[in-house]
Structures are given as structure tokens and as C-alpha cells.
Structure 1
């Protein structure tokens, strides 16, 4: 029997017990209102994404949301998180969407599901699986047979996972979003006829219905983008709309002259990029706008009420025509009412006070924060050469550089290597760099190339019988805008010196999908003369530390260059000296009493490191570039 069928039979068997554990209710959109059990209710919602929070903390964060006065939680569903390879699905652990929704229902919260298939969310590739780009004839986000074949498989599989949690089956999911912010894409892709855009949007709506999603559907767009983003049969909602009169006018125009009225993304904070100032949104403005909505019968969803963390390689990137790529930070704090580590903020308190004046239910007490610890000193005992480590693997040979996708690697790093039998000097140019590279000649770093700063060239002197190494990092695929269709990583075009194209490349994959262990690396002791030979090379630092108690903490990377950190085998994310983020959040549930292990992949290694520390307070606003 197939695993999916077994899971479905178990769900059917347990459905009566689940529906008894939560209160069943009806929900519909009728007469210009949201009706719960036939009574008009406001949706007072907050966005919170399950994979950005360890699953052990889901209940705490949902209790925090409820204690702010909210009655609903909204979440995107991240297709690439679940279909890691074509037809290979993962809904376990931090990916257990079903358990997340069930927990919300147990706490008496309604749930808004936003399955995309495109989500944006400052998430890698906007939620699309990277491997879509390898399918012949594929054109994403279009009325394209190959693409719609894949979206259908995803939505059908998602229904198998959570379909019985729809309100129509006695579950807490009250509404389902069809596509996401499609109106902005229509405006950006004016090279595609509007009729085709509408066919695609309608196709996604039909696929949701065909899969079995029969709860009310909605769309979300800026109010000026409804023409391209709305679709028949779905309630239009307006993102970021603070003008009540305009909100009601445009919804009435596209929804038969009546409400209900909802702002599906009300921004109490904002997203943050590396090398740019951390955004701040005034708590007093958020409180005033919240009250304005409540006074005028406008439902809303805080995006985000709690951001969490882009662990591992899950962060995406925005793209600006004038500037270029803008990689999203590891922290997804978002200046949200609930901080990255789940703490109350002044913004939280002010919103809670406002909501308390308008709701007819008792707002529960705020739960206590999770314990926080500091670790004054973690000794780093080993250091290993990543260039040497990479070259112990089997290379892929090609006349031209291959992309990550051609190498069938989604994330991480690729080392591009070429040997020279004759000396060569001149300007090395890699206009097809995606996204960040360090360049070495015979192991000595000669330059750093960077798509954020549009640095694509460096002068090189290559002697006789020498090796050129280019270590390339995927900074996260673009998640918003028309450039989402140009999302291959690595080196996507010719590499030249003095205009002459270089050929005959060896490529070594470094996906870093797990922490490299000492059995895989030729370590030397950190701080020894041998370690000094690794100065300015990419290296792996290793160490261990003992704890008598566990708790949340923040690894302080402010004295480091660029890289990623593993704690007990978990990739807690990227760091970069540019800031503004200088610490990495470590959930206490990923630590253990006794011995813990740390591995740091430091790409620049401009100075020797013997120790590192973890602090109690994050540093998210220290911009150095």
C-alpha cells in the first residue's frame, strides 16, 4: 500500500476524534459579511509561518498570537519545502503543516491557508522548487502545460495532507487563497497578454477546486492591481491598504458592490535585506491603523505578526532594476509585534490594548517567554581547508561552467576550477555570476565578486602551471517580480580574461546540506602555526561546548566575515559582516544538556579565530557596509 494512501486512511480513522478535540463551526461569506455559525464576525488575523519556527515552539507562538487578541492565524504553504524532488514529499518535523493547523484549531483559532503555488514571502524562489527550471518547456507562473501539470500535482498532494481540516469538513481552515499577489506580476509582465494571465489565474482557481478545496477562496493584491489579480469566485482583498474609503470602493467594484472588506496583508513591520538599514515601523502608527480598521468593520491580517527565522538556505532575494539583487537576511524578525525569538514588544502591547476595546471575547494572559542563556566562550579547536575538502570529491567536467541546476544542486556552493599550462594576466570577468564569489590563484585569494555591489571583475595574474578557483555561493533565488523567471544559480555565462573565454572547467559540488564532520575534513588545530597557512582561504572551524541548562541564545558573528553556522548538525543560517544582522538565533530546543557541536563555514577568514560566544540579546541593526 502506498504511504500516501496509508496516511489518508489514518486521517479518516482519526477525523472523528480530532473534530471532537476542537469546536466545530460553520463559516461562509454571505451578505457582505464573514459569518461564523451564522453570526457576522471580524477576522483579526496574524501571519506566522510554520517552517520559520521550530515545531516544538508552535504552540507557544500561537498562544502568543491569541494573547494579542487575534482570532485567526494565516500561513503560506511552501511548495519547495515539501516537494524536495519531483514526486518526493516531506511533511515531517518542522514541515508538519497538518500538526501546525491542528494546534491552531486546538487553541480555538481559525486558520487562513495560502498555498500559492507562488508565495513570495522573502522565501527562496518564492516557494517554487528549484528543479522546475530543469523541466523542458517549463514556463513558471503562466498558462503553460508543463507548469500546470506540476502545480496540479502539488495542490492535489496538499489536499491529501490537510483537506479534512477545511471548515467544510469540521476543521479550522476558513479560507484558502488562490495564487498570490498576481496583479503585481501582471503589471510587471506586460509582455504577456492579459487574457493569458487571466487564463492562468483561473486555472489555479480550478485546480484548487478540483483538488477538493471547497472553503471560501480569496485573492490578495494592492488595491490598484485588482484588474490583473482578481478572479471570479474569489473574494478580493487589498494588501497594505490604509485608506478605508478606497478599500471599500475597489472591493465593491470587483465583488458585486458589497463586502466584506479585508486587508490580507497589514504591515506592522517590513522585510530586511543584507547591507541595508533595518526597517522600523512606528508602534503608534500600527495601533492607530488597527483601531481604524476595527472601527470601520474591516478585517485584517498582520503580515507578519511573528516572522521567525530563515533557517538554512530558505531565504530568498528581491531584485531592483537599478541596484540588482537584494538578498534577504537570515533573521525574519520583520520588526513584528512578536520578535524573532518569540518575545513581547512594545508594538505587541499597544495592539493588544487596542483590540481589547473592540472584541467580545476574553483575551488570555500573555504566555511567559522561553528561557534565554548566554555562552561566554565556545572554544574552536579545529580548522580545515574547504578548497582541499571540495577537491577530494569527484568533479564534473565541462567545456563551459555549469549552473547549479545543471549540476542538479539546489542550494549552497559550487567550486569552479581551471588549470593553466601557460601564464596569463588580465581582467577576469564573470558577468554571469549568481551571486557571490571568492577568487583564488594557487590557493591565494585575489578578489571577491559580488552581485549585490555589481562587482563582476577582478585583475588576476596566473603563473605557469597554476590553478584558478572560483567559489560561488547561491544567495537565494529571487522571490518577487518579473526577474523570478531568471533564477539559475552559479555561473550562468562565459568567464573571460582580457575578453578571451576560458574553457575546460572542473566543478565540485558543496551543497552544505549537512554539517561536514571531522571524518570528512583534514583538520589542523585552530590557533597553531599550521592554521596560519589557511589565512584568507575558505575554512571550516569546528568546536564543542558543554551546557548544564539549555535555552534560546544568539551566536555573535560580529567579528566574522561571511558564511554559515551549524549547531548540532542544523544549519541556523547565513551571516555577513555587512550587517545589519550580526547574531544568529539558536532555538533552545536545538541545544542539549552535555556536549554540543558547532561548525562554522567561514568564506573569508581574514583573521585567526579561536573562540566564539553566544549572547542573550540579538544584534539586528548594526550596519557596517
Structure 2
């Protein structure tokens, strides 16, 4: 605990002293004569992407110091609209949501800032950053020249301008550039049903909204070079994603930027995104070091996506889509095989990049900060547990002719239980083609089977006796964050349920399961029984909530080992630290030390599968992110 306090305190003192020095100077940043100009002199941007939303705010300074020590001079970050307006009109810019504090901290650490406010982000984040409730607005279609949608993007961008407009370099802050939209050329290539002229009109309106919101630094777009035709917009610098060939980069930028640079790879991938049930991708140190040196020698600016990934805490992870799988949900960990690991550690990739930067840059590169403390918790006893199907009787559902979607229930994330009483027996094939995304099926509380959109498993045999209840526990595994299917993102059961091709309608009860707060968890856990009772031991394959307490004499980062569990989410001291799933490749969940307390701590595990009755947990000092268990 003392070491942790000293590390954070030292960072705060260093930042405070440096802040005075920076604020005493005024700077300029422009694009002119084919160059980025900082105070009138050409500058090469060496940037790394860090998303403040994926890191506890207490760790922002440490991660920014790690970035600076890698040899970089700039930090880029997405702004996720839904992170700040989770409910319509209710804005949150406090604590972990305090974007202005993150930007000021970057300035104190001597870093320039590139802002990527969307309104679309992608980023393997829930709904690509869009608020879920946009889907309930009549006549609204996202990412389109649509009056209803543009009305909301305007409100969002104006609110953002109020928060951080004063932190642009034109007003003494560190923000040097702002991105307009994001990877729009990719979307244009997938939505050929929309005329190119309409796409371009939309893109131009987003740029104009940014300017009207007070963003007066250079604007840029970001796409693959082969997608500039759809993604570039007049008055914004086109930058490239994933472009290794410098000649291709220069040719494309010249075509859309008056025959000259500057040239920037806005997303240079030192790692790659990862999905559940798929191998954890890894990019070699040698490949990234070699490509970095090419950019350095050719004076191409770049931004590592990601320099440090962080974590998709809670229900913030999104999903990709393809026809084979339907949905490819993203891991809780956003480690990304990045140079700075999920927990903020340097890696071999980090060391190789730092060594290169020390050779090539003419500015001071500080020493690497020490790791934050790591602890191991050998035993966490799970004293009590309760069957979710029993706990849900305390909740009030909504009756309707057909199952209601999450959106219709105003229930954005997590779980909904759909139930229907049958007065006559029925048996045959249960088909739920409108499942979004994962379900466990029960009859009178007895397990029947699993349905899963990931592998298009929408059908199981079922036998419902006379006067029995069918229950379908449905999980929203994250809204699609990329591609044309992003416009089809309602969750739950979104089409009729069939048994033997007969539509089952009438008297469905749709019950949201609240898991947003400690109060919600307390309500669900009311009536929990001791975990080692026979009633609990004999109840397998039923969704269960487990709860326990543990005491700590010191706190630090740690990794919860979930390898022997099934599928679900974990709450530590009331904070949702994310999803786990036995299929891997992720088998541990990162618990930041700032989420723990000296003395008593609480933990709640919700396991949807409950294939093995559990009585304890433990943590480890090293994460496991590459262990598939299919």
C-alpha cells in the first residue's frame, strides 16, 4: 500500500510542477506547406492511443507516463458518446468520465493530444460508442444524412465542445487535432444502397458540426488508403489506417489533399483485437520495430493503435459480425497485444520501440515508471448463493403478446428473463432465430439447453408438460460496433418464438435483471443460502449468484482466475469488472488495485451456466489471455 501511494503521489507532484512550466507558454499547431507545424517548425507526430474510458482515472497519469517513456510525444483517444450520455440528456463528465482531467493530465506530462470524438468510434466498444437509446428515437438512422440523427450528434458535439473546447492548443491546451467521423470510407463501401452523394453530405455535416461546436484546430479523417474516396471530406486532412507502404500513403494523401502532405498513419497496429472463442492474436516485436523505423526515417507521422488497450469493464465491450458466426463478441480484456499491457506493464514490444525512439528523436525521453504493485489473493470464500430463477421472483416483469426487446424495456445491458406459462402440453423443436445473443432455456426451472448466436445455434428440442413454465434467460453480449450490421442492434428476443413451426404468442413476461449497482445486487441476493447446503450442491446448470467477502492488509492490481467457471460477470465492491466465458482465450479478469480496499471487500459472481457448484475463488499475479478451451 505504501509503495502504491508513493508511486501515485510522485506522479502527481511531477505533473503539478510540469504543469506550471507548460501553462507559462503559448503554442501553435498548424498544417501548412505539406507539414505539421508546431510553433512554426515542422514536427513529426509520434502518437500512441490510450482510451481513458478503459482505465480507472487514478491510473491515467501512470499510463501517460508510460507512453512518454516509450518515446512518444502525443496521445490519441476516442471519446465514446455512450460513456458520457448513458441516458438521454443525462451527461457524466466526473471521475472515470472526466475527459477534461485526462487531457489536462496529458498536458502536464508534456504530451500533445489528438481527439477522436466520432460521433462513431468503433473501437470494439459497445455499439461503436453510440448510446443504445438512439434506437428508440422514431425515424432515426445512425451514420446517415438523417435529420433526427444529426439533431442528436449536434447536441453531443456541442456538449463536448463545452467540456474541452478550452483545452485546444488555440486556447492554451494540448489538443492539436480533432478527427471528423471515423473510418467512414469503410462504411461507405459496405452501404452501397445509399448514394455516394448522400454519404458525402453526411460526412461534411459532421465536420461542420464540429466546427460549430467550437473545434478550431486542424480536422482530419481516418481510413484505409483505398477507401479515401468515400471517407475523405473537404477541409480535413486524410490520414491512413494500417498502411505499411509509404508510397501508397503519399499517393493517396496527395490525391485528396492538394498534392501534398503531411502524411500520417492514424492507426498503426502493434497488436490486434480479440474475440471470445477465437485465438488471441499476436503481432511480432520484430515486425512492429521494423515498420516503426520505416516511418521514422521517412518522416511519416503515426499513431499506435493501441499503445495501451486497458479493459472493457462492465458491459462496455462490443461485437463484430460476420455471416458465419452472426456475432463475434469482444473480450473483456482490451490488452490488444499492445506495447503497454492491460495492467500497464512494459513488454518486449515496448522495449524495442523505446530503443528505436531513443535513437531517432531529438527530445528528452524519461525513464520508464515502475510497475504498480501486484498482489495475490489465495482464497476468497463464497459463503452464500442463490438461484437466479428464484431471485427474479422479486422483480416485476412486463406482459405482452410477444417477448419485448431490451430497448423496449429501457434495459440497455446484461440480462432479460422471458417466461411463458403453458396450459396445454407441447413438445418439439424450440426455434428462436431472433435471439440476441445468448440464452439458457428452462422448463419449470429445469435446464433444457443453450442457444447461441455466436455459432447460429437457434434450435433445441423441448418438452413442456401441462401447466408448466418456459423460461429463457437471454444475455446481450454487446452491440455490433463495426460494419453495415451496426444499424441492426436491438437485443433480447427480436422475432417470434416457434415450437414445431407454430408461433408462441400471448402472455409473455419479459423481466429485466438489474445489475447496475450494489442496490441491484442486494435485491437479487436477498434470501441467498449458505453455499455448501445440499440444495445448492444439487442445483447444477441453473444460473446462480455467488457472494463472498475477503479481507486485505494491502491492495494492489491482481487477476481473478475464472478458468474453472462457466460464463457470466463479476462484481468487486459493487464494480462490474467484466464478462468471463470458459471458452477463452481470456481466463482471468483484471482487478485494478484502486477497486480494492484495505479491510473488508465484497465479491459477487453471476454464473449463467453453473456447471460446477463453486465455493471459492483466487487471484493470480499474471494474466491468462491466450488459453482457448473449446
* TM-score normalised over the length of structure 1: 0.96
The answer as to 2:596 corresponding to 1:596 is no
8 A Cα contact 1:374 1:614, kept in partner:
yes
Which of 545, 549, 571 is the matching residue for 2:554?
Answer: 549
Give the SS at the match of 2:429. strand
1:497-576 equivalence runs, <5 A: 497-503=499-505, 504-515=507-518, 516-518=520-522, 520=524, 521-576=526-581
8 A Cα contact 1:568 1:598, kept in partner:
yes
Classify 1:501/1:529 alpha carbon distance in 2 versus 1 (closer, same or farther; 3 Å). same
Partners of 1:546 and 1:624 lie apart in 2 by: 32
1:22-61 equivalence runs, <5 A: 23-61=25-63
Shift of 1:381: 0.2
8 A Cα contact 2:435 2:458, kept in partner:
yes
The answer as to 2:264 corresponding to 1:259 is no
Give the SS at the match of 2:178. strand
Classify 1:162/1:290 alpha carbon distance in 2 versus 1 (closer, same or farther; 3 Å). same
1:210-609 equivalence runs, <5 A: 210-503=212-505, 504-515=507-518, 516-518=520-522, 520=524, 521-609=526-614
8 A Cα contact 2:220 2:239, kept in partner:
yes
Partners of 1:517 and 1:493 lie apart in 2 by: 30
Shift of 1:22: 6.3
Shift of 1:618: 0.3
Shift of 1:212: 0.7
Partners of 1:536 and 1:317 lie apart in 2 by: 26
Give the SS at the match of 2:382. strand
8 A Cα contact 1:19 1:170, kept in partner:
no
8 A Cα contact 2:44 2:299, kept in partner:
yes
Partners of 1:580 and 1:255 lie apart in 2 by: 43
Classify 1:614/1:444 alpha carbon distance in 2 versus 1 (closer, same or farther; 3 Å). same
Give the SS at the match of 2:360. coil
8 A Cα contact 2:428 2:461, kept in partner:
yes
Shift of 1:23: 4.0
Partners of 1:511 and 1:183 lie apart in 2 by: 38
Shift of 1:298: 0.1
* TM-score normalised over the length of structure 2: 0.96
Corresponding residue of 1:3:
none
The answer as to 2:181 corresponding to 1:179 is yes
Which of 110, 114, 117 is the matching residue for 1:115?
Answer: 117
Which of 609, 612, 617 is the matching residue for 2:617?
Answer: 612
1:202-217 equivalence runs, <5 A: 202-217=204-219
Shift of 1:389: 1.3
Shift of 1:612: 0.6
8 A Cα contact 1:182 1:221, kept in partner:
yes
8 A Cα contact 2:331 2:586, kept in partner:
yes
Deviations 1:396-454 (CA, angstroms, capped at 9, x unpaired): 00000110001111101000000011111110000000000000001011010000011
Partners of 2:334 and 2:548 lie apart in 1 by: 27
Q: For the aligned residues, what is the CA RMSD?
A: 1.1
8 A Cα contact 2:22 2:107, kept in partner:
no
Structure 1 spans left out of the alignment, 5+ residues: 1-16
8 A Cα contact 1:291 1:354, kept in partner:
yes
The answer as to 2:139 corresponding to 1:134 is no
Deviations 1:12-69 (CA, angstroms, capped at 9, x unpaired): xxxxx98964643110000000010001010000000001000000000000000000
Give the SS at the match of 2:600. strand
8 A Cα contact 1:385 1:522, kept in partner:
no
Shift of 1:86: 1.4
Aligned length: 609
8 A Cα contact 1:218 1:236, kept in partner:
yes
Give the SS at the match of 1:303. strand
Shift of 1:355: 1.1
